[in-house]
Amino acid sequence: MQSQNRVLAVLFFGVLMAALDVAIIGPALPAIQTAFQVSDRAIPWLFTIYVLTNLVSTPLMAKLSDRVGRRTAYLASIGLFALGSLIVVLSPNFGVVLVGRAIQGFGAGGVFPVASAVIGDTFPPDRRGRTLGLIGAVWGLAFIIGPIIGGLLLLLSWHWLFAINIPIALAVMAAGATILPATHMTKQSAFDWGGMAILALLLSSLVFGLNQIDSANFAQSLAAVDVWPFLLLGLGLVPVLGKIESHAIDPIIQPQLFGSRQLLLANALSFGAGLGEVGVLFLPALAVASFAVSESQASFMLLPLVIALSIGSPLAGRLLDSIGSRVVIVGGTLLLAAGMLVLWLVPGALSGFYIGSILIGFGLASLLGAPLRYIMINETPAQNRAASQALLTIFTSIGQLVSAALIGAVVASVGGSVAGYAAAYLTIGLIALVLVILSFGLKGRAAEIATQQHPVEIAS
């Protein structure tokens, strides 16, 4: 038990470091723009390059974890994140800042899926849910303390928002080198470089194309040369990837990870989780439009949602160990749908704003936290656990990108303002109701326990 708690502490602080970087980057943007005199059009690349390399590295670092061991992959991910942070701090120009952010994103891509796989390897089935719940709660904690830490560090310099990562990373690496369990290479076959290259090109094309969509002119922007060719290329590479992976000795994406109803539903629900998560990002805009508050005040109005997410993640994890994933996810998707529909029904009421936000927070805790990762751990053998966790991350991220374009288009089509946001939340609420229906197809508790006792084997 003591050794398991030490492992959990190493994972906790590694994930917290990566989560804090997401939560505190916002305050740095105006300062970086001023320091390097870059345009409004260039500054979003601080996000885009991070998302792109993060998404590409997730399956790669996860696969390396399954092949060469969790500890090696986890420490490499933390080390790359620290290196990227150092490059940003020392950057002489904006181009070098982007290089640092790219390396940061590449390192961060391996942190959460590998941490989830370590939990699956280290903790017994009756403790996995609550442990995954604690790791999931890290994101809520980061978004509570992140703006406070960011504001304090910004008083010194924007550089400190990135420099703070370095001592944390070094401490995690030092502790992890002795505490994390050492595993050895399980695969002797050649690495699937062809599959990795096609997957990287596929994800890069989708990320770039979706990021270039102008939500205010949705239909016209789809016809733009920096949108439709990239979306078409990304979608066209899906069957190519499938064919390559079906013939690979040790595929980067196991085709069998789509081979059961339980796995298909988990991946579909993770895509829906990404849609719901982006809905949260538009809440401050709704608050500004509805209640005539400043943007900073609107951000603080998200505090009840973040607290609900922080409480809901460990609670969902504990419930997993007692009542199983289906009940937890059905309840969570119902709460998510209810919260979105409350925002649609009473978008201009302060009480409705807070009630809807809290319901959404508890609902997302059942999708972004432990339950879906718990399912993937149960349904895949140890040698493919990190790869299955990476797959969830990929589907969630694609859901986020699609949702950002979809919500922006809905808001713009209704004319913006409160009515536009109400229509957007109605759209997400209806999608959440589809998630409710899908979640009823998950295994019941008895079947889940049977799977834990007789783990699934995937042939390589």
Annotated domain spans of the chain: 1-180, 254-460
* CATH code of the domain occupying 1-180: 1.20.1250.20
pLDDT greater than 70 at residue 103: yes
Q: Which of 255-264, 324-333, 369-378 has the highest mean pLDDT?
A: 324-333
Collect all residues with Cβ–Cβ distance below 8 Å to 302 and sequence separation of at least 6: 143, 280, 283, 284, 357
Please give the CATH topology (third level) of the domain spanning 254-460: Growth Hormone; Chain: A; (1.20.1250)
Q: Which two tokens stand for residue 236?
A: 């066209």
Share the mean pLDDT of the chain.
84
CA angle 141, 390, 79 (to 5 degrees): 65
Q: Higher-confidence residue: 424 or 24?
A: 424
**Residues 150-198: pLDDT tens digits?**
777 888 888 998 998 999 999 999 999 999 887 665 556 778 889 889 9
pLDDT category, 27, cuts 50, 70, 90?
Answer: low
Tokens representing 349 are 């009421």
Q: What is the pLDDT averaged over residues 56-73?
A: 86
In the chain, the percentage of residues whose pLDDT exceeds 90 is: 25
**Mean pLDDT to the nearest integer, 264-272:** 91
Q: Do the domains 1-180 and 254-460 sit in the same CATH topology, yes or no? A: yes
What whole-number distance in Å separates Cα of residue 146 and Cα of residue 152?
A: 10
**Direct distance between the N- and C-terminal alpha carbons of the chain, in angstroms, rounded to an integer:** 33
Nearest one of 367, 379, 299, 287 to 335, comparing CA atoms: 367
Which pLDDT belongs to residue 458?
46
User: Sorting pLDDT into bands at 50, 70 and 90, what band is 136?
Assistant: confident
Distance CA 301, CA 277 (A): 16
pTM: 0.81
- Give per-residue pLDDT as tens, 383-413: 777 888 888 888 888 887 787 777 877 877 7
